[in-house]
Chain A
Amino acid sequence: MSNKPNTYSAVAEVAYKRVRRSRLQRVKLGLSKAPPTAWFGMIVIFLYIFCALFAPLLAPYGEAEIFPEPFAPWSSEFIFGTDQIGRDILSRMIYGARNTVSIAVATTALAFLIGGSLGLAAAINMSWLDQFLSRLVDVLMAIPSLIFALVLLSIFGSTVTNLILIIAVLDSTRVFRLTRAVSLNVVVMDYVEAARLRGEGLGWIMRREILPNILPPLIAEFGLRFCFVFLTIAALSFLGVGIQPPTADWGSMVRENASLIMFAQYDLKAGLTPLLPAAAIALLTVAVNFVVDWFLHKTSGLRDEQ
């Protein structure tokens, strides 16, 4: 360390400068260190997205194409057989990826938009707005959400828009609480006070000062919330108020073919049929959770370069 000057100089003060890496390099570095579970999760999610995007090309038959034989057994013509009115199960499962996943993504995104922005605003404002929103959220959360969603869907009708709006609003309560809680730790920082003193508006403080600092827990929550939304939609569809026929959807497919499970003692394959869409739901949920776990593990550590 002979290059250290003997007198004091501000530029020469000891500080540790990280290696500069481009975004692509950082992504590559991150991926190269991902555990096998995360890889599994990412591959599964990728396959689902692929199915959703290219459903018309991948599916052997149309989404609502009806064939003469209902409850057909597994065969080379209908790989997983047909359902109660003679539609090809495999085709409907591939289309189901498109419908169910896209509705779940849209709902989660909307829930984050509502809950996230209100949570940030409440944390920054800290007065009547915070009180009002927090109590409102308490009231909403006091009502069991599945039953509440059932009631609202019966009142307003089961259209896709209503489904997205209602579940998004109900789920935004949890996003609100998380965002508010993590923002409160950041709001007390001097740099937020400095921005306020400068005269910055609410929007700037929300987007530029606070949001970048609370992003990791929010992204992780997005993954988890997506799973819950997905399951809620499937449950609602199973109960008959979710996605309506003839649109293919995994939740309603389980319900429509549920009676087949009783035939498992005669034909094992027929008994498995209603479990296929359920397995599709389960697999995606597990895959998303694996990826979220890895992400949380990565961001919870303070060092991101090791």
Chain B
Amino acid sequence: MSNKKTTKNQSLLEIKDLKIEGFSDEFWHPIIKGINVKLQRGEVMGLIGESGAGKSTLGLAAMGYTQPGCRITGGSISFDGQELIGMPEHKKRKLWGTRITYVAQSAAASFNPAHRLINQATAAKIRAKISDEKSAKEDARELFKTLQLPEHNTIGDRYPHQVSGGQLQRVMTAMAMSPRPDLIIFDEPTTALDVTTQVEVLAAMKDIVKEFNTAAIYITHDLAVVAQMADFIKVLRYGEEVEQANTRIMLDTPEKEYTKSLWSVRSINKKEEKSDDIVLSLKNIDASYGGGIKVLDDVSINVSRGKTLAVVGESGSGKSTAARVITGLLPQQNGQILFNNIELPKTLRGRSKDQKRQIQMIYQMADTAMNPKQTVGEIIGRPLEFYLNLNANEKEKRTIELLELIELDETFIDRLPSELSGGQKQRICIARAIAADPEVIICDEVTSALDQIVQEGILKLLMKLQKELGITYIFITHDISTVKAISDEVVVMFQGKVVEQGLKSQIFSPPHPKYTELLLSSVPEMDPDWLSNLISSRN
């Protein structure tokens, strides 16, 4: 197998004063500004920071690779004593996929849909002639078993679309492990997964890294996750190292202000308030797509005026479908929706303009929720003109007020969505929703695509707006820490049914129904021992 010549004193990976530039707007801009990394065999380094900090660029650079449009301008990357910068492509390709492997964020987008999983998982190994096809597949099945994939002997014969997202992510980890590499780079491997699945994938990755004494770089923006995985953590910002320390030290006593601010994100905690003033109520709703399986089964939910109701559950639990029924996009088959004690017509067409105005929606992906050809002024201005019949002057004045309300300013009015950052985009979507002066806003996973520090900003903004304008939120999410932060009441959904509804304090204090228990215990905590304790307690 691979020639492990490393002596004990030599690091497996040593990056010295690395500088990388990216090309945009006809200039080269620095992305990485002189970073040092030292990684020993068997060590896991956690790399955290917000988007644009250069985490992924650094992760790829550890393989000696840069994305198109980027160039390495200085420093050295030495892997097991070999310099990767300037190494010819064919030599690097011998390392890639065999001694250094990579696990991408979106497994679904990284697999070739036309090939069976096991063929893709063993391809690199067979190509590098590490072993023949038969033993490679044998080994892959063993790895599938270690990663606790169901039917590990036959799952490899399936195609990517025949397994779930969490399973696919584990197959990808198996693919990365199969040549027994010296270094694995994990680039946000669990970000797209439900919490209950995330726990399994994390546990599997942790075991396998330990078992084979593999070094790893774990890139994420989720601190609780990195706390489980890493031996030491490096914090990046604007392409520079903020600080680096052993995981436990880093979690307990971060030195720099910036790191402290990252750590404090999870500290928002809204005081719950009880209210009996029901603004919207769903009564015994059944709904399905095309008359097939019931996606909502006898769902009854009450929403209190001026409060935040969080709807939690994993993907497929029917929480987004509930939103579609409330907005009228998907007419329910049975049951009724009361808004201010008046029944809402089932279809969007049947509802009056004012009924439409009263319920607004904010989407998960702000990118696709705004027309790329319209400016911010047009996006926010349209509901003002459409619902409130403002003339051009009033519209512009109100648009600027709204921009200030969401903590941006009037310079943004002529920007296109492509000229905004992720957090700014979501703020514009919020402004568009409040421009209609609605009673209820449905927030569908509005923070899940954002970095933690930006998430915190958005959540604070939403809470501020609720205080000032008395808006009611229906907050759909799978992120329990967000729920803890901002909700008054919580609804837990599972497979189209409501498991329980109640005040936040009731839901989060035992005893729990079985599903709620599983969901709550799967939320990572900022404690390096949390995962090991959880796994041993579940077994």
Q: Which residues of B contact A1 (CB under 8 A)?
A: 238
The 4 A-B pairs at the shortest CB distance, nearest first, are namely A212-B373, A13-B421, A190-B369, A15-B421
Does A17 count as interface, using CB distance less than 8 angstroms?
yes
A8 and B348 contacting across the interface, CB-CB below 8 Å: no
The docked-state distance in angstroms from the alpha carbon of A199 to that of B360 is 11
Does B361 count as interface, using CB distance less than 8 angstroms?
yes
Q: Looking at chain A, what size class is its interface with the partner chain?
A: 20 to 34
Q: Which residues of A contact B420 (CB under 8 A)?
A: 15
For window 402-442 of B, CB contacts with A under 8 Å fall at 406-409, 414-416, 418-424, 427, 432, 436
In-complex Cβ contact of B457 among A10, A193, A212, A305 (8 A): A10
Considering the complex, give the chain A residue whose CB is closest to the CB of B379.
Answer: A191
A194 and B419 contacting across the interface, CB-CB below 8 Å: no
5 extra interface residue pairs, beta carbon distance < 8 Å, beyond A9-B407, A208-B374:
A8-B261, A16-B25, A197-B327, A198-B436, A208-B371
The docked-state distance in angstroms from the alpha carbon of A282 to that of B289 is 53
In-complex Cβ contact of A6 among B24, B258, B328, B419 (8 A): B258
Q: Which residues of A contact B238 (CB under 8 A)?
A: 1, 4
Question: A residues near B, CB below 8 A?
Answer: 1, 4, 6-11, 13-20, 189-191, 193-194, 196-200, 208-209, 212-213, 305-306
A198 and B356 contacting across the interface, CB-CB below 8 Å: yes
Q: How far apart are B290's CB and chain A's nearest CB, in angstroms?
A: 12
Q: Enumerate 11 A-B pairs (CB-CB under 8 Å) in ascending A order.
A: A8-B454, A11-B408, A13-B422, A191-B371, A197-B329, A197-B348, A198-B356, A198-B382, A199-B386, A200-B386, A213-B373
Q: How far apart are B455's CB and chain A's nearest CB, in angstroms?
A: 10
For window 386-409 of B, CB contacts with A under 8 Å fall at 386-387, 406-409
Considering the complex, give the chain B residue whose CB is closest to the CB of A18.
Answer: B419
Does B151 count as interface, using CB distance less than 8 angstroms?
no
B424 and A10 contacting across the interface, CB-CB below 8 Å: yes
Considering the complex, give the chain B residue whose CB is closest to the CB of A303.
Answer: B24
The docked-state distance in angstroms from the alpha carbon of A136 to that of B363 is 37
B407 and A6 contacting across the interface, CB-CB below 8 Å: no
In-complex Cβ contact of A197 among B356, B374, B415, B453 (8 A): B356
Q: Looking at chain B, what size class is its interface with the partner chain?
A: 35 or more
Q: How far apart are A102's CB and chain B's nearest CB, in angstroms?
A: 31
Q: Which residues of B contact A197 (CB under 8 A)?
A: 327-329, 348, 356, 360-361
Q: Which residues of B contact A198 (CB under 8 A)?
A: 356, 382-383, 386-387, 436
Considering the complex, give the chain B residue whose CB is closest to the CB of A213.
Answer: B373
Q: Which residues of B contact A212 (CB under 8 A)?
A: 371, 373-374
The docked-state distance in angstroms from the alpha carbon of A6 to that of B256 is 10
In-complex Cβ contact of B26 among A190, A200, A306 (8 A): A306
Total contacts A-B at CB 8 Å: 91
Complex interface bits, B435-478 against A, C-beta within 8 A gives 1, otherwise 0:
01000000000000000011011000100000000000000000
A17 and B363 contacting across the interface, CB-CB below 8 Å: no
Considering the complex, give the chain B residue whose CB is closest to the CB of A200.
Answer: B386
Considering the complex, give the chain A residue whose CB is closest to the CB of B361.
Answer: A197
Does B129 count as interface, using CB distance less than 8 angstroms?
no
B383 and A10 contacting across the interface, CB-CB below 8 Å: no
The docked-state distance in angstroms from the alpha carbon of A193 to that of B369 is 8
In-complex Cβ contact of A14 among B327, B414, B421 (8 A): B421
B368 and A191 contacting across the interface, CB-CB below 8 Å: yes
Does B257 count as interface, using CB distance less than 8 angstroms?
yes
A17 and B423 contacting across the interface, CB-CB below 8 Å: no
Q: Which residues of B contact A18 (CB under 8 A)?
A: 25, 416, 418-419
Considering the complex, give the chain B residue whose CB is closest to the CB of A17.
Answer: B419
The docked-state distance in angstroms from the alpha carbon of A1 to that of B409 is 22
Q: Which residues of B contact A20 (CB under 8 A)?
A: 414
A213 and B369 contacting across the interface, CB-CB below 8 Å: no
Considering the complex, give the chain B residue whose CB is closest to the CB of A302.
Answer: B418
Question: For chain A, what secondary structure do more than half of its interface residues adopt (helix, strand, loop), or is it mixed?
Answer: loop
In-complex Cβ contact of B369 among A16, A191, A196, A200 (8 A): A191
B424 and A305 contacting across the interface, CB-CB below 8 Å: no
In-complex Cβ contact of B372 among A8, A17, A200, A213 (8 A): A213
Considering the complex, give the chain A residue whose CB is closest to the CB of B417.
Answer: A191
Does B370 count as interface, using CB distance less than 8 angstroms?
yes
The docked-state distance in angstroms from the alpha carbon of A17 to that of B432 is 21
A305 and B408 contacting across the interface, CB-CB below 8 Å: no
The docked-state distance in angstroms from the alpha carbon of A162 to that of B406 is 58
A190 and B365 contacting across the interface, CB-CB below 8 Å: yes
In-complex Cβ contact of B427 among A8, A10, A191, A193 (8 A): A10
Q: Which residues of B contact A193 (CB under 8 A)?
A: 329
Considering the complex, give the chain A residue whose CB is closest to the CB of B265.
Answer: A8
B423 and A13 contacting across the interface, CB-CB below 8 Å: yes
The docked-state distance in angstroms from the alpha carbon of A208 to that of B372 is 11
A194 and B407 contacting across the interface, CB-CB below 8 Å: no
The docked-state distance in angstroms from the alpha carbon of A198 to that of B429 is 13
Q: Which residues of B contact A194 (CB under 8 A)?
A: 361, 363, 369, 432
The docked-state distance in angstroms from the alpha carbon of A37 to that of B414 is 36
Q: Which residues of B contact A10 (CB under 8 A)?
A: 406-408, 423-424, 427, 457, 461
For window 303-357 of B, CB contacts with A under 8 Å fall at 327-329, 348, 351, 353, 356
Does B52 count as interface, using CB distance less than 8 angstroms?
yes
The docked-state distance in angstroms from the alpha carbon of A212 to that of B375 is 13
B424 and A13 contacting across the interface, CB-CB below 8 Å: yes
Q: Which residues of B contact A4 (CB under 8 A)?
A: 238
Q: How far apart are A230's CB and chain B's nearest CB, in angstroms?
A: 31
A191 and B370 contacting across the interface, CB-CB below 8 Å: yes
Q: Which residues of B contact A200 (CB under 8 A)?
A: 386
The docked-state distance in angstroms from the alpha carbon of A123 to that of B418 is 25
A8 and B424 contacting across the interface, CB-CB below 8 Å: no
Q: Which residues of B contact A306 (CB under 8 A)?
A: 26
A209 and B353 contacting across the interface, CB-CB below 8 Å: no
Q: With A191-B371, A194-B369 known to touch, is A199 a contact of B421 (CB < 8 Å)?
A: no
Candidate in A14, A18, A194, A200 with the most chain B CB atoms within 10 angstroms: A194
Q: With A18-B419, A197-B327, A199-B353 known to touch, is A8 a contact of B457 (CB < 8 Å)?
A: yes
Q: Which residues of B contact A9 (CB under 8 A)?
A: 407
Q: How far apart are B254's CB and chain A's nearest CB, in angstroms?
A: 14
Considering the complex, give the chain B residue whose CB is closest to the CB of A196.
Answer: B348
The docked-state distance in angstroms from the alpha carbon of A196 to that of B371 is 13
B348 and A15 contacting across the interface, CB-CB below 8 Å: no
B371 and A213 contacting across the interface, CB-CB below 8 Å: yes
Candidate in B373, B414, B424 with the most chain A CB atoms within 10 angstroms: B373
B407 and A7 contacting across the interface, CB-CB below 8 Å: no
Candidate in A15, A18, A208 with the most chain B CB atoms within 10 angstroms: A15
Q: How far apart are A154's CB and chain B's nearest CB, in angstroms?
A: 45
A13 and B454 contacting across the interface, CB-CB below 8 Å: yes
Q: Which residues of A contact B24 (CB under 8 A)?
A: 16
The docked-state distance in angstroms from the alpha carbon of A14 to that of B239 is 13
Q: How far apart are A155's CB and chain B's nearest CB, in angstroms?
A: 42
The docked-state distance in angstroms from the alpha carbon of A306 to that of B27 is 11
Q: Which residues of A contact B328 (CB under 8 A)?
A: 197
The docked-state distance in angstroms from the alpha carbon of A4 to that of B348 is 46
